[in-house]
């Protein structure tokens, strides 16, 4: 028996096994632990710009509920992307945010900031969140395009249902979000965006 040939054969088999294990590990990490996402719109500017790529923690959401201020990736309700700003699941009064989404989950991915959680009351004035009666300090947000825009003001508060999250983009005058299609149930949340890794000059934690 040619030991050199046998050794080379074993090396090839070992290499193939290592590659397969590496691919399986990478797939597992992306599927269950950390997944990269590309940002297609400017709804989260100035925090996250078009073309940036973020990393999303898919594992942590199984143990910790999102909090106000977290940036999350999620599936919006069906109707959220059907032209305009989306479709509310109930008849929406002119002066209040959408209080209930359509019942079905969309397959698309959105990224927004959690601005209210189950049990909170929320109203919006000039793009500013009024949470439980108190105007929030939001230095990360852009309100420039809200000047004179009625979709930036909903003065009648609504109560977010238990197990739901009210999402808004940081670019308040240019974001299709929960104002128009309602809060998002916990089951539709994919995970928290915790870092940006592209482009190189924007690498950092969120």
Known catalytic residues are 43, 112
14 φ/ψ angles, rounded to the nearest 5 degrees: -60, -40
Q: How far is CA 64 from CA 25, 91, 118, 183, in A?
A: 24, 33, 14, 18
Q: Is 31 helix (H, G, I), strand (E, B) or coil?
A: helix
CA–CA distance, 116 with 36 (Å, rounded to integer): 25
Tokens linked to 36: 């990269």
Tokens linked to 135: 């105007």
CA–CA distance, 206 with 110 (Å, rounded to integer): 16
Residues 6+ apart with CB under 8 A from 21: none
CA–CA distance, 189 with 93 (Å, rounded to integer): 27
Tokens linked to 89: 């699941």
Q: How many CB atoms lie within 10 A of CB 118?
A: 16
Q: Name the nearest CA neighbour of 133 among 160, 157, 165.
A: 157
């Amino acid at each position: 028996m040619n030991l050199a040939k046998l050794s080379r054969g074993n090396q090839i088999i070992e290499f193939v096994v290592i590659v397969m294990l590496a691919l399986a590990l990478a797939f597992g990490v992306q599927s269950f632990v950390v997944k990269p996402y590309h940002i297609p719109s400017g709804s989260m500017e100035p925090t996250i710009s078009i073309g940036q790529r973020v990393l999303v923690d898919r594992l942590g959401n199984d143990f910790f509920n999102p909090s106000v201020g977290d940036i999350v990736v999620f599936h919006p309700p069906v109707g959220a992307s059907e032209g305009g700003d989306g479709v509310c699941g109930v008849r929406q009064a002119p002066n209040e945010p959408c209080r209930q989404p359509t019942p079905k989950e969309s397959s698309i991915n959105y990224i927004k900031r959690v601005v209210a959680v189950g049990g909170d009351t929320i109203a919006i004035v000039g793009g500013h969140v009024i949470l439980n009666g108190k105007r929030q300090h939001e230095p990360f947000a852009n309100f420039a395009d809200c000047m004179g825009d009625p979709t930036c003001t909903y003065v009648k508060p609504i109560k977010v249902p238990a197990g739901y999250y009210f999402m808004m983009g940081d670019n308040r005058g240019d974001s299709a979000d929960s104002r128009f299609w309602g809060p998002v149930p916990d089951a539709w949340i994919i995970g928290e965006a915790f870092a940006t890794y592209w482009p190189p000059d924007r690498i950092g934690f969120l």
